[in-house]
Structure 1
Amino acid sequence: MATFFGEIISAYSRAVEEDDYDNTEEEDEDVQIRREIEAKRDVHVRWGPEVSKALESSGNLNTTNLIIAFGPNAAGFISAHVLSAEGWTQVGWVALWNERSRGSRRPDAAPLPGEPGCVFYQRDGCPSVLICQSTAYVAEDQLFQWAEKVLGPMQKRGLSVTVLSDCPMAEYKSPDYLTGSGAPFLRALKTTMHTDALPCPLLEQPNIVTGLPAAVLSHCQVHRIPAVLFQCFTDVSHPDSVTMETYKPILSSFSTSVKTESCPSAEILQKLTRITDSQSNLYT
């Protein structure tokens, strides 16, 4: 700046200092907001009293057979063919929140009845078998958390994981054109430790698996856990008895400790599909 006598001198710019101070405040505020959002999107696994007691005493769950069903048809198949065969008890759930999830928002709260979510079941008198039914949407930034917090407490030795998953027919890639009449059909993808025979063809390249099934398989591959994914490609997005029956060949791959019902009653199937039937009207 020029003085009265024409001398040029340097001067501090208060505007620059104030801008730097404001930017620091904004950065701190952004960091705080980001931390609050991350905390809000945490995945919380809540176990019932018996499972919590087992975790406290041994540090892990002595589960040898874990069956996970992702999607309405996979979950419906498990309900019709497994959970209806004998007494099962709800022993835990996953609480999470994201933009598309309508489940419980409070980590200390149980999922609301009738809303989608993730629930764990254990067979009475057989704690080694655990079933997980998940129909809630899990965002991309929550997938790793979900896999780590669900599979983390389980013993690695002797554990076998079976995953059932629904997938839109539009995501299936094939050199041959497949019309809607070809759906639904089943494909499998397994980890290197899984050596049992498969009741359906392997998933062909260049198809890929995404979402929770991919997160679970990746976790099992890293920890050398035998795991197999049975993915059903279907052209319906709601519970459908025909799509549920597509999973039927995998019943033979379940452990002998899992009692299954090969022919569930029509009443059970109607109950699983009744809600979507009543909402399919164009004018409702």
Structure 2
Amino acid sequence: MATFFGEVRPVSSRAYDEADDDDDLQGITYDVRIELTKGGNNLSKAEALLISYGALATEFCERVVAGDGSEEAGQVYVEIEKPVEGVDTGDFHARPPTPSRILVTAGALAVCCTSEDVVPPVALQFVRKVLGLVGASCPTVVLSSHHYGALKGCYSSLGQENCVVYSLCSPAFTYVPVYPRLPQPAILDSVPAAVLTESLVSGRPCVLYPAYTETFSTGELDLVAGTFCRVFQSNPLLKFQSCLQLLKSHHAHRPRDDFDRYT
């Protein structure tokens, strides 16, 4: 009986490589600061907080929710305080960091449009700053947009929607979410995960609505607009439904068979 199965060769571990990358990033520290404007005085009176994460979700909050009728309440800046020498960030062209805008609508809805500079290592620090602007009982809603690659498993869309969307909420959230619970295995990280974590620890009511599409492009807002508008047909955002702006999309609604190629 043969007992030799061949030569043992060491191979590189993907997990090991990723762990090394994480170790390198641990040396970077970030400074998160908030600069409030005159409109920031209304944040303590906000009846709900809406946080966007991802290009499409942020464009929806800026164009459809906030629009031109909102008031600038402040900006959240995230800057590298202690860079690590020799770490390749992949950014060949240095650019000034983009702050996250905080807006307040006429209906007392606070909206935080998260900048792309809010990276996962600083997400919890960022979220604590933002949540500290509103009351502890103020319900928080997170709209996030992700690529299908982040959704582990094969899930189909609901109805005629152009994306797959689910929900996650904290125990203190007493309303019924618009969409079903996010199935496993599925992973949320960065700002959405930080909001849920902080809400669990501090007993805050929050609900997350992650939407998964086949694109990252901000020119495809129609992929998520209908899905996110449905969130305003239920509490805690029902009272703010009238603040939604008329969506003027230059892209036709995608045909069903085109969407099915990605599910």
Aligned counterpart in structure 1 of residue 150 of structure 2, from 148, 165, 171: 171
Aligned partners of 1:182 and 1:259: how far apart in 2? 22
Per-residue displacement from partner, 1:65-102 (whole Å, max 9, x unpaired)? Answer: 00111112112222343223x72111111111255697
The structural deviation recorded for 1:195 is 2.1
**Corresponding position of 1:252:** 233
Root-mean-square deviation over aligned CA pairs: 2.9
Aligned counterpart in structure 2 of residue 122 of structure 1, from 96, 104, 125: 104
- Tell me the SS of whatever aligns to 1:138: coil
**Corresponding position of 1:242:** 223
Matched, 1:136 2:127: no
Aligned partners of 2:203 and 2:155: how far apart in 1? 36
Aligned counterpart in structure 2 of residue 43 of structure 1, from 9, 32, 44: 32
The structural deviation recorded for 1:123 is 2.1
Q: In structure 2, do the counterparts of structure 1 residues 236 and 210 end up closer, same or farther at CA, with 3 Å as the change threshold? A: same
Matched, 1:199 2:182: no
In structure 2, runs of 5+ residues without a counterpart are 1-26, 81-88, 252-263
Q: In structure 2, do the counterparts of structure 1 residues 143 and 103 end up closer, same or farther at CA, with 3 Å as the change threshold? A: farther
Count of residue correspondences: 209
TM-score using structure 1 length? 0.65
Could you list the runs of 4 or more consecutive aligned residues of structure 1 that deviate by over 6 angstroms after TM superposition? 100-103
Per-residue displacement from partner, 1:15-67 (whole Å, max 9, x unpaired)? Answer: xxxxxxxxxxxxxxxxxxx6xx63xx21111111342x67xxxxx82332001
What amino acid is aligned across from residue 102 of structure 2 in structure 1?
Answer: F
Aligned partners of 1:90 and 1:102: how far apart in 2? 27
Aligned partners of 2:231 and 2:70: how far apart in 1? 20
Question: Would you say the 8 A contact 1:95–1:103 is kept in 2?
Answer: no
Aligned partners of 1:50 and 1:170: how far apart in 2? 39
Matched, 1:233 2:246: no
Q: In structure 2, do the counterparts of structure 1 residues 88 and 139 end up closer, same or farther at CA, with 3 Å as the change threshold? A: same
**Corresponding position of 1:81:** 64
Say which structure is richer in helix. 1
In structure 1, runs of 5+ residues without a counterpart are 1-33, 55-59, 106-115, 272-284
- Aligned-residue sequence identity (percent) comes to 21
- Tell me the SS of whatever aligns to 1:167: strand
The structural deviation recorded for 1:265 is 4.3
Greater radius of gyration (CA): 1
The structural deviation recorded for 1:104 is 4.4
Question: Would you say the 8 A contact 2:64–2:247 is kept in 1?
Answer: no
TM-score using structure 2 length? 0.69
